[in-house]
Chains A and B, each alone.
Chain A
Amino acid sequence: MNPTEQAMRGVVEETFAALAFMFPLDAEGAAAVDPGTMERAVVEFSGPFRGALLISASAEMLEPLAANMLGLEDGVCPSREQRRDAFKELLNVICGNLLPVIASPRQVFDVNEPRLLAGEDDYRSAVRLGELGTIDMDLDTGHIRLTLLAEHQPTAAETAPGGKQA
């Protein structure tokens, strides 16, 4: 696991715990999953460098995700719209918390609105972004995969604490 992936894992664990009351089942590694049963979303950002964060999650995770975020009583089902919105907001929160960790807290990023990806969307081939890291995680409610793409590795100037600002 490279340092970026370690940072990703830390932010993802903290976000799932604090936002959705979910926890990882294992410290590392995860079982292979059928991509056809996954929901996908992407959030793009710009600033000192351009990039995107891609998430795939087990489709069955979205209902407890939304229910937990909203604090719904057991047996009350969130709507399809609420499930999708919760999924996008989860990605938004992960991205917003990850960027200051992999770059510098002084850097200013603009994070676009997350959007869902249709099953056949091949996002990665449509953008000229390199992969900085990918993590897989099994949570108590399902599996996620997170991939960070960027136009380049953050430079020393972009990660310095006093950092050159956008």
Chain B
Amino acid sequence: MKHIVGVADMKISCSSGDVLVTHALGSCLGLAVHDPVAVVGGLLHIMLPQASIAPEKAQSNPFMFVDSGVPVFFRQLYAAGAVKPRCVVSVAGGSNIGGGDNDRFAIGKRNYIMLRKLLWQNGVLVKAEDVGGTAPRTMYLEVGTGRTWLNTAGQERPLQ
């Protein structure tokens, strides 16, 4: 069964028949985490790097920001049975939609930098990533197998 993850949201599944998908990863980041032993998978769609720019929004929805959303996401994965050393992490998005010098605030790049900082702090390494560029991405995670793949401009490719 396919479950769509919206912007500033996340979903976790323990059903091996589920596919998690999130669309329109432009400057946003998609973070897929999978525990192949417990068969637990989660997909997070984050918009902005730091909760400090809008703490009240982070309170009501931590998944809007990298630094508030990613820790909550991992805690909920562990609560669902995922074990940290087994988790396989994939990242996609962080692009500069529109390209050129229009991206004055470089949100995509900042999201990615903030995520890398957080993962390094917490001793989490990334298995696969597809970030940057100028095109939006759709990201998929197949919970039963951990397979992740992307769709960009109608072209599918594995994330590995």
Note whether A and B contact each other (Cβ less than 8 A): yes
- Does chain A have a CB within 8 A of B110? yes
Instruction: Of the listed stretches A19-27, A53-61, A150-158, name the one at the interface; the rest are far from the partner chain.
Output: A19-27
Give the residues in chain B near A47, CB-CB below 8 Å.
none
- Asked if residues B120 and A71 are in contact (CB atoms below 8 Å), the reply is yes
- Does chain B have a CB within 8 A of A147? no
Task: Please report whether the interface of chain B is mostly helix, strand, loop or mixed according to DSSP.
Answer: helix
CA A41 to CA B94, docked complex, whole Å: 34
Chain A: interface size category:
10 to 19
Chain B: interface size category:
10 to 19
Task: Please report whether the interface of chain A is mostly helix, strand, loop or mixed according to DSSP.
Answer: loop
- Asked if residues B104 and A21 are in contact (CB atoms below 8 Å), the reply is no
- Asked if residues A23 and B123 are in contact (CB atoms below 8 Å), the reply is no
- Asked if residues B101 and A27 are in contact (CB atoms below 8 Å), the reply is yes
CB distance from B52 to the nearest CB of A (A): 10
- Asked if residues A27 and B104 are in contact (CB atoms below 8 Å), the reply is yes
CB within 8 A of B106: which of A21, A23, A68, A74?
A23
User: Which residue on chain A has the smallest CB distance to residue B110?
Assistant: A23
Q: How many A-B residue pairs have CB under 8 A?
A: 22
Which of chain B's residues 89-114 have a Cβ closer than 8 Å to chain A? 101, 104, 106, 109-110, 113-114
- Does chain A have a CB within 8 A of B2? no
Give the residues in chain B near A22, CB-CB below 8 Å.
113
- Asked if residues B121 and A71 are in contact (CB atoms below 8 Å), the reply is yes
The digit string for A13-44, where 1 denotes a CB below 8 A from any CB of B, is 00001000111000100000000000000000
- Does chain B have a CB within 8 A of A101? no
Which of chain B's residues 109-131 have a Cβ closer than 8 Å to chain A? 109-110, 113-114, 116-117, 120-121, 123
CA A72 to CA B120, docked complex, whole Å: 9
CA A160 to CA B24, docked complex, whole Å: 43
CA A23 to CA B115, docked complex, whole Å: 13
CB distance from B126 to the nearest CB of A (A): 14
22 A–B pairs (Cβ distance < 8 Å), ordered by A = A17-B109, A17-B113, A21-B113, A21-B114, A21-B116, A21-B117, A21-B120, A22-B113, A23-B106, A23-B109, A23-B110, A23-B113, A27-B101, A27-B104, A68-B117, A68-B120, A71-B120, A71-B121, A71-B123, A72-B121, A73-B121, A74-B121
B: residues with CB less than 8 A from A are: 101, 104, 106, 109-110, 113-114, 116-117, 120-121, 123
The list of the 6 closest CB pairs from A to B, nearest first, reads A21-B117, A71-B120, A71-B121, A21-B113, A17-B113, A23-B110
